[in-house]
Structure 1
Amino acid sequence: MNEPWTAPPGDGTAVVPIGDVWDVVEAPAETAAWVRQLRRVEAPAIVDPRQGRAWWLIPRGSANPTAWLWHQLQPTVVVRTSGSLIVPHAARSDGLRWVKPHPWGGTYLAQPERLAAVLTLLRSATAARRASVSPFYARGDTDAGPG
C-alpha cells in the first residue's frame, strides 16, 4: 500500500525533493492535531509550530492537485508534487518535528484516500460549526450595569 520510506536518523533536518518518492499534503498545524485525535490516519505529520503548518507525505503520484479528492479541500489544504520540503530527522523533538499518531506502526507515508477523507470530514464539521453560531448583535444601550 505505502512505499517504504523512513525519516533520516538523528535530530537534525534535511531538504528533500518532493515527487521522487512521495508527494506532500499541507494544511494548518491545528488540522494535524485534529487528525491525530481522530486516529484515522496511521502516518505522522511534520509540524512546524512557528509557521503553524503541517505536512503529510503520501506516495508519489497520489497528490494530483486537480483531482476531486484534493480540489474540494483547497485553499486550506495544498498538495505539492514538486519542489522541496525541509524534513525533520526521526529523533527531532523541538520546532519542526514529526507528530506521530497513537498507536503508530512505523509508516511515514499516509494513505491518501484516508487522509483526504479525514480532512474532508474536518472541513465539513468546521463549516457546520460556523453556520450554527449566530453573529453577535449589540442590544440596547452601550452602558453596562444597573441604571
Structure 2
Amino acid sequence: MIDTSWAPPLHDEVLLLPAGRQWDAVRTSSAVAKWAFQILDGTESCAAIIDERMACAYWLMAVDDQSAYVHWERLRGHVAVLGAGPGTHYVGVPPTHHRAGPGLHWRFPADWSGRYLAHPYYLGAVLASAVRIAHGPDAVAAQCLLCERELERTDAVTVTVGSGPADATPRTLEVHPAMRPHRPPPRPPATIDMTHRRRYHYVEMSLAPDPEATPYTVRARCLACDDLSPEPEPSESITGQHERAQRWCTRHAAHDHADGRHFRFAATVTLRWRVTPAEDIGPAAL
C-alpha cells in the first residue's frame, strides 16, 4: 500500500531535504507541468513545488514508489526522477504558507486533497500525456510493444506477428531481443486444426481521465445493511465529497436500527478513465 501521509516540517525558510529518504522527487519543465496540472487538478489534486527561477515543477512521491510506474525511463528526456543512488539530490522544500512567488513556493489546487505526496502510477501516466502534448508524439521514447519498457532502436529485433502462414497481413514489430518468441516444433499435419485462425494487431494506446465523465465520485457504504450515501453533485470537489460521505456515516450510525447500531462503513473513490488508441480499432461500445 502506498503511504502518502508525509507532510513538510513546520519552518519559515526553504529547507534543502535529500531525495530518496522520506520521498522521491519528480522534476519536469514548466511547459510540461502546465499541461499536467490541467489533468491532475480535480483528480489527483496533490500539492506541487514551483521553481519559477528554473522554470520547473516538482512532485514528491513515497520513497521507492517509482517502481510502481514502469515507464519513467521513457520520459527521461523531459522528466527526471530524483531518488536514492550514487549521489544525493537535494530538493528545496518551501514553508507550507509560501503559496505564491517570487521564489520557491507550493502550488495547491482549488480542491486540494490534503496530500503532499503523489500517487506514482497516476502521476507518471499524466506526465507521459503532458510530454506528448507539450513536445509532440515523438518526445516519449520508443516502447517495446510486448514488455512495454523503453526500447533502444539499436538493440531492437523484429518479429512478425500473425495468425500463421496463411495470414495475408502479418505485422512486423520491434521488440527487445529477450522478447523474441521461441517457436515450438511444428505439430504433425494431422493434428493441426485450421478451423480457427486469429490475427493479432498491436495498437499503442494512451490512458487519461475521461473528459466526458464526472472525474471522480466518493460514496460510503454501511457494512451492516449495504445502504449507500447519496450520489454526489458532479460539480462538488473530491474533498467536499469526502466530507459529505463522512457526515452521512455519522447520521446513519445515529439511527436506532432493528439489529442495533451500525458503526462500520467502507468508502469507495471512483476515478473514470478513458483509453485512446493511436489508430482506429473499431466503434466504441455504448
TM above 0.5, one fold?
A: yes
The equivalences for 1:25-64 within 5 A come to 25-38=26-39, 39=41, 40-63=43-66
2:120 counterpart residue number:
112
Q: Secondary structure at the match of 1:123?
A: helix
Deviates most, 38-47 or 49-58: 38-47
| Structure 2 residues without counterparts, runs of 5 or longer | 140-286
For this pair of structures, how many residues does the alignment match?
Answer: 128
1:75 counterpart residue number:
77
Instruction: Determine if contact 2:35/2:133 at 8 Å carries over to the other structure.
Output: no
2:219 counterpart residue number:
none
1:88 counterpart residue number:
94
Query: With structure 2 as the length reference, what TM-score do the two structures score?
Result: 0.41
**Partner Cα distance (2:130, 2:56) in 1:** 16
1:124 counterpart residue number:
132
1:35 is displaced (CA, Å) by: 1.8
Q: Secondary structure at the match of 2:71?
A: helix
Query: With structure 1 as the length reference, what TM-score do the two structures score?
Result: 0.77
The one-letter code matched in structure 2 to 1:90 is T
**Partner Cα distance (2:132, 2:56) in 1:** 20
1:129 is displaced (CA, Å) by: 10
**Partner Cα distance (2:76, 2:133) in 1:** 16
Supply the RMSD in Å over aligned alpha carbons: 2.1
1:80 is displaced (CA, Å) by: 1.0
The one-letter code matched in structure 1 to 2:16 is V
1:8 is displaced (CA, Å) by: 2.8
Instruction: Determine if contact 2:46/2:118 at 8 Å carries over to the other structure.
Output: yes
1:103 counterpart residue number:
111
* Seq. identity, %: 30
**Partner Cα distance (2:53, 2:13) in 1:** 17
Instruction: Determine if contact 1:14/1:88 at 8 Å carries over to the other structure.
Output: yes
The one-letter code matched in structure 1 to 2:4 is E
Structure 1 23/10 Cα, relative in aligned 2: closer, same or farther at 3 Å?
same
| Structure 1 residues without counterparts, runs of 5 or longer | 131-147
The one-letter code matched in structure 1 to 2:45 is E
Deviation track 1:30-82 (CA, whole Å, cap 9, x = no partner) reads 32222222224321111111110111001100225xx7320111111010113
Structure possessing the higher relative contact order (Cα contacts under 8 Å, 6 or more residues apart):
1
**Partner Cα distance (2:132, 2:36) in 1:** 14
Deviates most, 113-122 or 5-14: 5-14
**Partner Cα distance (1:75, 1:106) in 2:** 30
**Partner Cα distance (1:69, 1:128) in 2:** 15
Instruction: Determine if contact 2:4/2:118 at 8 Å carries over to the other structure.
Output: no
Instruction: Determine if contact 1:29/1:54 at 8 Å carries over to the other structure.
Output: yes
Deviation track 1:67-107 (CA, whole Å, cap 9, x = no partner) reads 73201111110101132211111011321011112310110
**Partner Cα distance (2:71, 2:3) in 1:** 18
User: Which structure has the larger Rg?
Assistant: 2
